[in-house]
Amino acid sequence: MAVKHFLNVTVMLGGPSAEREVSLRSGAAVAKALRSLGHQVVELDPKDGTFILPKENDVVFLALHGTFGEDGQVQGELEKLGVVYTGCGAEASRIAFDKVLTKRKCIDAGVPTARFAVVSSGQTPLPAGLALPLVAKPVRQGSSVGLQFVERAENWRSAIAEALKFDSEVLVEEKIVGRETTVGILDGAPLPVVEVRPKAGSYDYKNKYTSGATEYFCPADFDPATTRKIQVAARGAFRAIGGRDYGRVDVMVSATGDPVVLEVNTLPGMTETSLLPKAAAAAGLGYAELCQRMIDLALRRKENGKTKRETVSEHAA
């Protein structure tokens, strides 16, 4: 692809979260792709949650995942510095990283999501209003970290105790039995639906990052009407949290073909086998082109902002 001009890009990767290793892989793949396009790339690892940007920097490409990277912290710091960065803003990132806030935003927007409860103690009894089986996951973690399944009442306390190791609150949802999908969002538009099928068990951290443990189908084999419903639900969830530029929304599809949104990812994985690049490839966008598009969207926001400021100044004059 033709790149109009070469840039000084800082790829932020690694970081202090439980998803550090995946982030290092995402960032390395992004840096390689951007260098192949001719950009000057510096890889920056804020491993302790602090960083100093290079003097020559046109844009920061965020390849961080989890705490600090995906929860709005680094976005807020970059905004204070007046630095352009890829992906969602600080507030949308904060909301999406909190699964309970995300669900409430979805409910307010009429986006379908599973019935749920929030638990903060291992002594909390099984919620009377929810039907087994249940899914329990830390409110503020990603990549299926701490994910637990409660198939029987006797599993309840041990599952909650395990999930509470990763956060002070646990989201408990009714388990949706059906097909697991994910939908990439790029510049406001949904990409082709990806279906995720683990060969054994659930789509947990191990199956997510073990080569060959999960099969992926893109575009997923749904009829056009169901595909459309899945994409509409995903885009609705992304809009509900205030997302911009790009992201990925995980959606379960029930046996009746109804979509149920699980969560929104504002900085989805960017290894060359990650789900967002798979969806982009199915839409005809190669990996390097996708990385360039993400940068273009960030720079477009910068230009739009500059234009607005200049217009205000002209009126003031």
Beta bridge partners, 119, equal 170
Please confirm, yes or no, whether 19 is among the known catalytic residues: yes
One-letter amino acid at 137 equals K
Backbone angles phi, psi at 217, to 5 degrees: -130, 120
Please confirm, yes or no, whether 209 is among the known catalytic residues: yes
C-alpha to C-alpha distances, 272 to 102, 108, 178, 275, nearest whole angstrom? 27, 35, 27, 9
Q: Return the closest-CA partner of residue 183 out of 260, 143, 235, 109.
A: 235
- Kindly name the residue from 69, 179, 250, 287 that is annotated as catalytic: 250
- Kindly name the residue from 265, 274, 287, 293 that is annotated as catalytic: 265
- Kindly name the residue from 143, 144, 207, 274 that is annotated as catalytic: 143
Q: Spell out where 131-169 has E strands.
A: 134-138, 148-150
Please confirm, yes or no, whether 250 is among the known catalytic residues: yes
**256 near 273, Cβ under 8 Å?**
no
- Kindly name the residue from 19, 70, 167, 204 that is annotated as catalytic: 19
Locus of tokens 């949904």? 190
Following CA atoms 42, 186, 83, 50 in sequence, which dihedral angle do they give, to the nearest 10 degrees?
Answer: -60
- Kindly name the residue from 248, 274, 287, 293 that is annotated as catalytic: 248
- Kindly name the residue from 20, 23, 184, 209 that is annotated as catalytic: 209
Distance CA 217, CA 49 (A): 36
* Ramachandran bin of 239, using left for φ above 0, alpha for ψ from -120 to 50, beta for the remaining angles: alpha
- Kindly name the residue from 263, 274, 287, 293 that is annotated as catalytic: 263
- Kindly name the residue from 69, 72, 87, 269 that is annotated as catalytic: 269
Please confirm, yes or no, whether 269 is among the known catalytic residues: yes
Report, as residue numbers or ranges, the catalytic residues. Answer: 19, 143, 209, 248, 250, 263, 265, 269
